Amino acid sequence: MGALFSCFSPSSPPPPQRRRPVAAGRRQASPPPAGSSGRWTRMRSGRKEDPGLLTHEQALAAAAILIQHHRENGGVAEPTIPFDRSTSTRHPPSKKKDALPRSSSTRPRSLADPLLQPQQLVNQDVKIEDLETNRFVLVHGGGFGAWCWYKTIALLEDSGFKVFAVDLTGSGIHSFDTNNITSLPQYVKPLIDFLEKLSDNEKVILVGHDFGGACISYAMEAFPSKIAKAVFVSAAMLQNSQNTLDMFSQQADADTLMRQAQIFLYANGNDHPPTAIDLNKEMLKDLLFNQSPVKDIALASVSMRSIPFAPVLEKLSLTEKNYGSVRRFFIETTEDNAIPLSLQETMCSSNPPEKVFRIKGSDHSPFFSKPQALHKFLVEIAKIPQTLNTH
């Protein structure tokens, strides 16, 4: 388990490199005028600036300032003098509220980029004390575990929220044989146990992904007073007396990737119903992670477990009094091969939520492929004010 969690830890930054002093006789650039920004503003009429030359002269200027401070402070150089080492062209800060940070690099962003760095985190300027609740409960989809939310957990906690990601029965590091799960209540029990322990005045925002949508629906029926909002992230948003299999059967294409990838397990023998479903490892990328970084795909390939079959078949009993009293929101994913956008739209039209958000360019796993966009919408949903018609 320790080795697994170590996968989530960002790598330590490399030690700072000592810069050599400028050789005697070389031209030193003048420091910027007082009140100017830390970056050089250079103007040459009639000539286009050479980025390489600009960076070289920046280095000379920084070295010159270091030498000057070294002399003025009796031979002790101050280590805190700022110097911009980026060779990219910088964009001015966006004035748009809550805008996502833009990459300043001219190279195309790789899908295999490393884990999020602190400067990439979305600054939502959230006033936690003004929110109805500051607690998120993240519920994974079939085959996944709490591990899949690691980027979302980091982003939400960085914004001041409290986050709990649950491992449902037989998922993630929960030590239970998936083949022995015989009902939806048994599968959802870790989530129900968590909600039961909340005090009467505590509320959470439930977030469900994939089959986790059916799980949070079950919880909404059981504990409507403890759930401020429910967010379905490309998830099974079912109606009363409907099961997850019914939802998937609405797909027009009978030869979907999902059907091709499914491997049924028969722990009780081939003459009995399947006990669980595995997904073909060779098809995981195309099915679930077609826009995700390769490191996250590798993590999923060694962490995913079987999906219990009985809960998928179980019909939900949902009432307007309980389930219907919880505010629902849906987040669509446009490049989804597991629950196609057309099916997501069908669920939203037949069982309309309060509001629908859309993450463009996301596969079925936006917590991997578009973590900042997912985070932005989750925070936006948290900031929606409490209605007068509360439970």
How does DSSP assign 272-302, residue by residue? S---EEEE-GGGHHHHH-TTS-HHHHHHHHH
For 357, phi then psi, to 5°, come to -110, 160
Decide if 140 is catalytic.
Answer: no
Decide if 272 is catalytic.
Answer: no
Distance CA 371, CA 375 (A): 6
How does DSSP assign 178-240, residue by residue? GGG--SHHHHHHHHHHHHHHS-TT--EEEEEEETHHHHHHHHHHH-GGGEEEEEEEEE----T
Decide if 246 is catalytic.
Answer: no
Active-site residue identified among 140, 167, 209, 210: 210
Bridging pattern class, strands 204-210 and 162-166: unpaired
Q: What DSSP character marks residue 384?
A: S
Q: What DSSP character marks residue 127?
A: -
Q: Measuring CA to CA, how many Å separate 115 from each of 13, 14, 32, 84, 308?
A: 12, 15, 35, 22, 31
Long-range contacts of 73-78 (CB under 8 A, 24+ apart): none
Active-site residue identified among 167, 296, 336, 363: 336
Active-site residue identified among 140, 296, 363, 364: 364
Q: Measuring CA to CA, how many Å separate 325 from each of 226, 229, 322, 374?
A: 11, 10, 5, 24
Residues labelled as active-site residues: 210, 336, 364
